[in-house]
Amino acid sequence: MDFNRVIDRRNSECIKWNRFDEDVLPLWVADTDFKCPEAVISALHQRVDHGIFGYGAPPKELNQTVVQRLKRLYDWDVEETEIGYVPGIVTGFNAAIRTFCEPGEAVIYQTPAYPPFIDAPNSARLRGVQNPLLQQQDGFYYIDFDRFEQQLISENVRAFILCNPQNPTGRVFTREELTQLAEICLRHKVLIISDEIHCDILFDDHKHIPIASLSPEVAANTITFMAPSKTFNIAGLHASVYIIQNPELMAKFHEFCSGLVGCPGVLALTAAHAAYAEGDEWLFEQNHYLQENRDFLDDALRTQLAGIRWKKPEATFLGWLDCSELGLTEAPYEFFLREARVGLNEGLTFGPQCRDFVRFNFGTTRANMQEAVNRMQAALAAL
Ligand SMILES: Cc1ncc(COP(=O)(O)O)c(C=O)c1O
């Protein structure tokens, strides 16, 4: 697979490349500019050639593939009956909080946060509570457990939406951190809704631990979402997986979703199956390429973009850039869009304290990385 290959995405119903003017290099929404695995494309061709697209259902083989993969990659024992499918994880966690929270209750999440975490409680008429991840001197993001526990008690929190690996900081939470979070949630009867969409894109020696795999007690208190969408660049097909090991929670979630949240379409199921069953080698190569992109950006931040700081992400293809030392009089998102013609994600959408940040999607070709860095450097030089 040639990850340097440039593919024109503008005429492909693509949100990333159509949002801004044509001269803007878009590095925002979290998909990549890479062609998905050949196995997925060929499975889709075969399915399209079948020519009948009546109502679908997840095939048993897909469940088996998911179960085997969870064991193989994450040493997590899951039964086929504990798996279900939704067309997206955002849909999934919105449905979950509506299923399990009552009016007056709150949903907690860590900030900086993937923006739909911030929107979810508001649109469900629940209260959102923000637990800020804190930064050490060296930029490392850590959890303030005391504050987290205090907030669960004082804010009448019913559910915790966890993002692991974390978007946008790129943290992969450790076993110790996850255990502490899970114990606090168990102590206060707070349901864990774990968004693990980024779990397959890991760097260096980082290992993903599904929080539900920690113990049977945690499993019984957790709903986990995963997907092939980020991993294999098939987000536009809409197939996501949920794992619920507590039959009571599973029944309630089914009941809520019935008639409201449909199953992924037949092409989505075909692609998900091919990706999970045959995509390992492609994924290995992609992660290698992404890690080199991450290291390229790390170098560039030192040599070409002095004044912008980050903590190298441990996972995801997203860089969370702290521009506060640049002394800009406007949000860096606005500055880089206008002056560099680079379209990043705006810090403020990730939380109120994030004005001086931008999110940089490095899931693109090395040539685009270089171009973006050059443009940003020139814009800063002209300040
Ligand atoms: C943490 C997180 N959750 C969910 C999503 C989107 O999931 P879906 O497309 O399955 O709704 C994203 C996409 O960027 C994400 O970063």
Give pLDDT tens digits for 98-108.
Answer: 999 999 999 99
One domain for residues 262 and 198: yes
One domain for residues 91 and 184: yes
pLDDT digits (tens, 9 = 90+) for 129-139: 999 999 999 99
One domain for residues 271 and 284: no
Residue of 94, 133, 195, 241 to test ligand 1 pocket, by largest number of atoms within 8 Å of CB:
195
Q: DSSP label at 80?
A: G
User: 195 CA distance to ligand 1 centroid (A)?
Assistant: 8
Burial of 121 (0-12, 13-18, 19+ CB in 10 A): buried
pLDDT value of position 147 = 98
One domain for residues 333 and 258: no
How many domains does the structure of the chain reveal?
2
Rounded to whole angstroms, the Cα distance separating 221 from 56 reads 30
Domain boundary among 278, 293, 327: 278
Two tokens at 332? 């860096």
Whether 80 is in a domain gets the answer yes
One domain for residues 269 and 293: no
One domain for residues 305 and 241: no
One domain for residues 158 and 70: yes
Q: Give the SS3 label for residue 128.
A: strand
Tell me the angle at which helices 266-278 and 38-50 cross, rounded to the nearest 10 degrees: 150
| Ligand 1 atom nearest to CA at 86 | 10
The DSSP element (H or E) to which 342 belongs, if any, is strand 342-343
> Count of alpha carbons within 13 Å of 199, Cβ hemisphere only?
23
One domain for residues 296 and 270: no
User: 306 CA distance to ligand 1 centroid (A)?
Assistant: 31
Rounded to whole angstroms, the Cα distance separating 155 from 128 reads 9
User: 115 CA distance to ligand 1 centroid (A)?
Assistant: 10
Whether 197 is in a domain gets the answer yes
Domain boundary among 253, 278, 303: 278
Whether 48 is in a domain gets the answer no
Q: What angle do CA 156, 161, 162 make, to 5 degrees?
A: 125
Q: Which residues contact 187 (CB under 8 A, 6 or more apart)?
A: 149
pLDDT digits (tens, 9 = 90+) for 256-274: 999 999 999 999 999 999 9
pLDDT tier at 152 (50, 70, 90 boundaries)? very high
Task: Residue 235: give the domain boundaries.
Answer: 54-278
User: 328 CA distance to ligand 1 centroid (A)?
Assistant: 30
Rounded to whole angstroms, the Cα distance separating 369 from 362 reads 7
Which residues lie with the beta carbon below 6 Å from any ligand 1 atom? Answer: 30, 88-90, 114, 163, 167, 195, 197, 227, 229, 235, 240
CA-based nearest residue to 341, from 382, 314, 378, 310: 378
Rounded to whole angstroms, the Cα distance separating 222 from 186 reads 10
The per-residue DSSP string of 210-248 comes to -GGGS-HHHHTTEEEEE-STTTTT-GGG--EEEEE--HH
User: 276 CA distance to ligand 1 centroid (A)?
Assistant: 18
Nearest CA to ligand 1 atom 13: 30
One domain for residues 257 and 214: yes
User: 95 CA distance to ligand 1 centroid (A)?
Assistant: 14
Whether 354 is in a domain gets the answer yes
pLDDT value of position 383 = 92
Two tokens at 352? 């109120």
Which whole-number Å values give the CA distances from 68 to 48, 63, 76, in the listed order? 27, 9, 9
Two tokens at 295? 């290291």
Sheet holding 222-226, edge to edge: 83-86, 240-244, 222-226, 191-195, 157-163, 106-111, 127-132
Residue of 90, 169, 198 to test ligand 1 pocket, by largest number of atoms within 8 Å of CB:
90
One domain for residues 266 and 285: no
Whether 4 is in a domain gets the answer no
CB neighbours of residue 367 within 10 Å: 10
One domain for residues 288 and 251: no
SS3 content of the chain, % helix, strand, coil (to 5): 45, 15, 40
pLDDT digits (tens, 9 = 90+) for 105-126: 999 999 999 999 999 999 999 9
Whichever domain contains 272, its CATH number is 3.40.640.10
pLDDT at 28 exceeding the cut of 90: yes
Q: What angle do CA 228, 230, 232 make, to 5 degrees?
A: 60
Whether 220 is in a domain gets the answer yes
Whether 322 is in a domain gets the answer yes
| Ligand 1 atom nearest to CA at 318 | 16
CB neighbours of residue 125 within 10 Å: 10
User: 263 CA distance to ligand 1 centroid (A)?
Assistant: 17
Residue with tokens 């020139």: 378
User: 79 CA distance to ligand 1 centroid (A)?
Assistant: 24
One domain for residues 34 and 165: no
pLDDT at 11 exceeding the cut of 90: no
pLDDT digits (tens, 9 = 90+) for 307-341: 999 999 999 999 999 999 999 999 999 999 999 99
pLDDT at 379 exceeding the cut of 90: yes
Domain boundary among 208, 243, 278: 278
The DSSP element (H or E) to which 371 belongs, if any, is helix 366-381
pLDDT at 78 exceeding the cut of 90: yes
Whichever domain contains 34, its CATH number is 3.90.1150.10
Average pLDDT over all residues of the chain = 97
Identity of the amino acid at 380: L
* pTM beyond 0.95: yes
**Is residue 358 within 8 Å of 319, Cβ to Cβ?**
no
pLDDT value of position 161 = 99
Q: What mean pLDDT do residues 240-246 have?
A: 98
- Which residue(s) pair with 241 in the sheet? 85, 226
Pairing between β-strand 106-111 and β-strand 157-163 as defined by DSSP bridges = parallel
Whether 234 is in a domain gets the answer yes
What is the dihedral angle through the alpha carbons of 322, 317, 199, 117, rounded to the nearest 10 degrees? 50
The DSSP element (H or E) to which 286 belongs, if any, is helix 280-303
pLDDT tier at 36 (50, 70, 90 boundaries)? very high
User: 197 CA distance to ligand 1 centroid (A)?
Assistant: 6
| Ligand 1 atom nearest to CA at 163 | 1
pLDDT value of position 56 = 95
Which whole-number Å values give the CA distances from 307 to 25, 231, 340, 366, 377, in the listed order? 21, 31, 16, 22, 11
